[in-house]
Amino acid sequence: MWGQGKTSKQTKSFDVRFCGSIKLLYRHSAPKSQDMAYIDELISALGKERVLLDPSEKFVYGADWSPRTPDEFVPPDVVVLPRTTRDVQRIVKIAYNHEVPVTAGGGLTGMLGGAVPIYGGIYIDTTTMNSIVEVDQKNQTIRVQAGATLQEVNDAVQPYDLWLPHQPESKWVSTVGAAIACDNDSTFGVRYGKILSCLLSAEIVTGTGEILELGHRKAHFTSSGYKLKDLLAGSEGTIGVITEATLKLEPIPATRRIDMLVFPRMGAAVDYLSRLLKAGLCIEAAHINCKRRLKFYTHSYKQKFGKDPEIPAWAEALLAIAFAGDSEVVEAQRNYALKIAKDFEAQLVEERDIVDAWWASKYTLDFEPFKQKWPDSQKQKKFGAADPGVPVGRLEEFYHKFIQVAEKHNLEIIGMNAYLEHPNSIGFSLSCAVFVDYRNPDEVKRFREFHDELSKLAVAFEGTMSTFMSDTYQKAPYLELEHGASLKYMKDLKKLFDPKGILNPGKKFPREDGPS
Partner 1 sequence: MNRLEEFKYELETCFGTSCGFCERGCPVYQTMKVKTLCMKGRNRTMLGLIQGKFEITPAVVQAAFECTLCGNCDRWCSLKNTEHTRAFREYLLRHGVEPIKEHSSIVASIKNYGNPWFQPRSARNRWTKGLDIPKATPGKQEIVFFAGCTSAVTKQLNRSLVASAKLLKKAGVEFATLGQDEPCCGSTLLRVGQSEAFKDLAAGNVKKFKSLGVKKIITACPGCYVTLKKTMEDAGAKIEVVHISKEIAKLVREGKLKLNKSTERMTYHDPCHLGRLGGVFDEPREIVRAAANFVEMPNNRYESRCCGAGAGLQSAFPKLSKDLAAKRVAEAKATGATTIVTSCPFCETQLRTVPGTKVVDLMELLLDAVEGNGRNNNSKKAP
Shortest approach of partner 1 to residue 204 CB, angstroms? 21
Shortest approach of partner 1 to residue 369 CB, angstroms? 5
Answer yes or no: are the C-beta atoms of 399 and 376 closer than 8 Å: no
Shortest approach of partner 1 to residue 86 CB, angstroms? 18
Residue (128 or 140) nearer to partner 1, CB: 128
Answer yes or no: are the C-beta atoms of 296 and 433 closer than 8 Å: yes
Q: Is 422 helix (H, G, I), strand (E, B) or coil?
A: coil
Residue (107 or 501) nearer to partner 1, CB: 107
Q: Is 264 helix (H, G, I), strand (E, B) or coil?
A: coil
Query: What does the angle CA 44 – CA 49 – CA 51 come to, to the nearest 5 degrees?
Result: 65
Residue (108 or 349) nearer to partner 1, CB: 108
Beta bridge partners of 397: none
Shortest approach of partner 1 to residue 82 CB, angstroms? 11
Residue (61 or 301) nearer to partner 1, CB: 61
Residue (130 or 298) nearer to partner 1, CB: 130
Residue (352 or 439) nearer to partner 1, CB: 439
Q: Is residue 314 exposed (0-12), middle (13-18) or buried (19+ Cβ within 10 Å)? A: exposed
Residue type, 231: L
Binding site for partner 1 (CB under 8 A): 2, 7, 9-10, 12-19, 22-23, 26, 52, 54-57, 59-61, 63-65, 67, 70-71, 73, 81, 107-109, 125, 127-128, 130, 149, 151, 170, 172-173, 365, 367, 369-372, 374-376, 378-379, 382, 438-439
Shortest approach of partner 1 to residue 298 CB, angstroms? 16
Residue (18 or 221) nearer to partner 1, CB: 18
Q: Is 205 helix (H, G, I), strand (E, B) or coil?
A: strand
What is the rounded distance in angstroms from the CA atom of residue 63 to the CA atom of residue 70?
Answer: 10
Which residues, including other chains, have CB under 8 Å from residue 472's CB and lie 6 or more apart?
Answer: 110, 112, 113, 114, 236, 507, 508
Dihedral pair phi/psi, residue 501, rounded to 5°: 65, 35
Residue (377 or 466) nearer to partner 1, CB: 377
Shortest approach of partner 1 to residue 25 CB, angstroms? 10
Shortest approach of partner 1 to residue 75 CB, angstroms? 9
Annotate 131-178 with three-state secondary structure.
Answer: CEEEEECCCCEEEEECCCEHHHHHHHHHHHCEECCCCCCCCCCCEHHH
Query: Which DSSP state fits 56?
Result: H
Shortest approach of partner 1 to residue 164 CB, angstroms? 16
Q: Is 261 helix (H, G, I), strand (E, B) or coil?
A: strand
Q: Is 55 helix (H, G, I), strand (E, B) or coil?
A: helix
Residue (55 or 280) nearer to partner 1, CB: 55
What is the rounded distance in angstroms from the CA atom of residue 129 to the CA atom of residue 244?
Answer: 9
First to last CA, the chain: 41
Q: Is 478 helix (H, G, I), strand (E, B) or coil?
A: helix
Shortest approach of partner 1 to residue 134 CB, angstroms? 20
